[in-house]
Structure 1
Amino acid sequence: MPENTVRTRCCPDCDGFPTVAITTGRRAPNGTRRTITVTCRACHGTGTLPRRRLAASLGR
Structure 2
Amino acid sequence: MPKLWNETIDAHRRAVRDACLDTTAALVAEHGLLSVTMSKIAEETGIGRATLYKY
Give me the TM-score of the superposition, normalised by structure 2. 0.27
Whose Rg is larger? 1
Structure number having the greater strand percentage = 1
Give me the TM-score of the superposition, normalised by structure 1. 0.26
Structure number having the greater helix percentage = 2
Larger RCO, structure (CA 8 Å, separation 6 or more):
1
